[in-house]
Amino acid sequence: MILRDPIHGLIAFEGARERVVHALLRTREVQRLRRVRQLGLASLVFPGAEHSRFAHALGAAHVMSRLLDRLTSLDVPLPPEQRIDDASAQEAIAAALLHDLGHGPYSHLFEYVLPGAPRHEAWTEQFLRDETSEVHQVLETFGQGTAQRVAELVMGRHRLAYLGHAISGTLDVDRCDYLLRDSHMTGVRYGIYDLDWLLRALTLGQAPHADGTSRPVLAIEGRKGLPPIEGFFLARNFMYQQVYHHKAVRAAEVLVRAILARASELVREGHQFAWLPRALSQGALGEQALLGDYFALDDASLSHAIAGFQHERDPLLTDLSRRFFARALPKTFPLPDSAEAEPLWQRCHAVAADIAARHGFRPDLYVWLDLPSDVPFSEPEGGTDGALWVALRHRPMALLGDVSFLLKQLKNKRTVRPRLIFPGELREPIGAALEPLLLGGA
């Protein structure tokens, strides 16, 4: 199988270990990913961001195949039990293809809509372990227990720890693909890094483990590998700033959260929506959605539900839904980003909520304190599982955060970009009320 891809060019799944890709692409669960956009509501801000989880899944599987080529070509002395065999390689490619199987509609947004709902990783694991799912049945044709081993790999666990970290870790095939793909499709150039040189710079080395032994780990080969890995983490940082945490994207997400919060209230009050997916009704009532009902969720089903809300008798639900479809997104107001400013954030939120109430808006649905945060480069203290190492000639292995000057500055430092989000009609009164607070005049 050869596919054309806007990021990687020609993607070929032709070897024996890639046979699993051919079989899995025919399953209902993988085909569902065509109907879930990779960046959720980002297309409201970046018109080209219409790409799907399906395209990203193929890209991640391709990167994994390239990584396996690199790792198996290394002349590194490893005992047989620590080497990649044919079965492990096949399972790794399957895990890369299936890692996002459980994503709900509108990407990560859906995970925060219903309190207590499982995260997408948990749904992915359920799809893989459920004996009635097509992906489970296909995986088992490649050997008994394959579905279980792939599920473990998706969660970052494997007898070859370095292979598990390549699926879910600080540097994994998921991030390697989505940074380039999201950057290209949004038209934002900040996410571009040198994937070819990064893969070429990866090697395997022996690093100390918490139990006193040493284990093979993914490592950067010498100082020549520092520029591509630094570029990778800087690209990730810039994409969070410019795309994933973009103020208008966050405003759109807040609007959908408000819509579904109000719809959930009405469900709990006994209102029945003929077009509301069962999984959403179950979640609103605090019930665990069944796997089959969750499978029926995609971007189209959620958009259809919100479209129907425009014509409800409830004025709040109608207003919020019409704002969404008219792209009348809320406005944002940036707040100081220092940790010491947290009491000020709460005070500003209270002021904005009071103004909204006096103008006839329900504050808990129309005024939000948004606190998007990220750690640009995380490194476990002491080099425990998941850390990235640098293999230096004639010197002991060293942690990446200790070798790279740039990444040492970012290491384990959380960035927060606080902002208030509120209806556009309130921009002037809220701005006028917040200015003296932020200038320290009140």
Confidence class for position 205, pLDDT limits 50, 70, 90 = confident
At CB < 8 A and 24+ separation, what contacts does 285-293 make? 286/116, 288/118, 289/117, 291/123, 291/126, 291/127, 291/130, 291/133
Query: Which pLDDT does position 115 carry in this prediction?
Result: 64
Q: Express each pLDDT in 25-69 by its tens digit.
A: 999 999 999 999 999 999 999 999 999 999 999 999 999 999 999
Query: Residue 441 above 70 pLDDT?
Result: no
Query: Which pLDDT does position 383 carry in this prediction?
Result: 60
Superfamily the domain 1-187 falls into: Hypothetical protein af1432 (1.10.3210.10)
Which has the closest alpha carbon to 259: 223, 211, 221, 312?
312
Domain ranges in the chain are 1-187, 246-329
Q: Express each pLDDT in 283-315 by its tens digit.
A: 888 888 888 988 999 999 999 999 999 999 999
CA pair distance 229, 309, nearest whole angstrom: 47
Confidence class for position 384, pLDDT limits 50, 70, 90 = low
In the block, which residue shows the tokens 């032994």?
213
Q: What is the DSSP letter of 208?
A: E
More confident residue, 290 or 176: 176
Query: Which pLDDT does position 92 carry in this prediction?
Result: 95
Which has the closest alpha carbon to 186: 151, 235, 221, 152?
235
Q: Which two tokens stand for residue 257?
A: 């959260």
Q: Express each pLDDT in 224-281 by its tens digit.
A: 889 999 999 999 999 999 999 999 999 999 999 999 999 999 999 999 888 888 888 8
- Fold topology of 246-329: Growth Hormone; Chain: A; (1.20.1250)
Query: Residue 442 above 60 pLDDT?
Result: no
How much is the average pLDDT of 94-111?
Answer: 87
In the block, which residue shows the tokens 């100390």?
208
On whether the CB atoms of residues 219 and 202 are closer than 8 A, the answer is: yes
Q: Express each pLDDT in 386-412 by its tens digit.
A: 788 898 887 888 899 999 999 999 999
Max CA pair span of the chain:
74
337 sits in which H/E element: none
Q: Which two tokens stand for residue 234?
A: 């800087």
Residue 347's DSSP bridge partners are none
CA pair distance 374, 241, nearest whole angstrom: 9
Q: Express each pLDDT in 331-377 by its tens digit.
A: 999 999 887 888 999 999 999 999 999 999 999 999 999 999 999 99
Q: What is the DSSP letter of 289?
A: P
**What percentage of the chain exceeds 90 in pLDDT?**
67
At CB < 8 A and 24+ separation, what contacts does 285-289 make? 286/116, 288/118, 289/117
